[in-house]
Amino acid sequence: MFRLPGPVSVPLRASVDAAGRALTRAGAGPATESNALFLPGRGLRLTGGPTRFEAWSGDTRVLHVDVDEAARTAVMAGDWWYRGTYRIHERGGAAWVEYRVENVAERGRWAVPWANKLFAGYRGTMLGTAVIVASRIAKAVDAEQAPEDGGEAAG
């Protein structure tokens, strides 16, 4: 049986809690690096909230999105097979972002690998996406921890 690639994980320079807050920060409006940072670059906008959203591209709903700050997860689901989960977890005393993609098709499950060309190169794409999200999380955490006046911290 064909299987999707396993999850990919990328280390972060942030605490688990700070990374979890950054990952799950979402609100209605355009997806940007500061709003649903796991979605930007796709021209999507979110409706709904505060924890359950719909992601739209123009007039077409493309994803259901659930964010859970306590669980430090952001879950995206399409209408057929796709469920992608970002999760912040601790490993070896460091925070990591994990990205897992699952085939959740209830019908036509067997066709998913064929429709996606047997996922050739998909693990590399997943890792690249996780690295981008990790970078955005680090940037968001750095901005959150910066002194409020925009100057350098007194030393």
pLDDT of residue 149: 47
Report d(CA 6, CA 59) in Å as an integer: 33
How do residues 70-121 score in pLDDT, each as one tens digit? 999 999 998 888 899 999 999 888 899 999 888 888 888 788 877 777 667 7
Question: Which neighbouring-strand residues pair with 94?
Answer: 91
Provide the whole-model pTM: 0.82
Binning pLDDT at 50, 70 and 90, where does residue 1 land? very low
Instruction: Give pLDDT, residue 145.
Output: 79
For 107, how many CA atoms within 13 A lie in the half-sphere containing its CB? 1
Output the CA torsion 10→15→19→20 (10° steps): 110
109 or 147: which carries more pLDDT confidence?
Answer: 109
Q: Which domains does the chain have, with CATH numbers?
A: 8-145 (3.30.530.20)
Chain segment 5-60, per-residue pLDDT in tens: 567 788 888 899 999 999 999 999 999 988 999 996 678 999 999 999 999 999 99
Rounded to whole angstroms, the Cα distance separating 143 from 114 reads 43
Can you tell me the mean pLDDT for 59-67? Answer: 95
pLDDT at 155 over 50: no
Walk across the sheet containing 82-91 and list its strands. 8-11, 94-103, 82-91, 73-77, 60-68, 52-57, 45-48, 29-30
- Position 5 scores a pLDDT of 59
Q: What is the pLDDT of residue 87?
A: 94
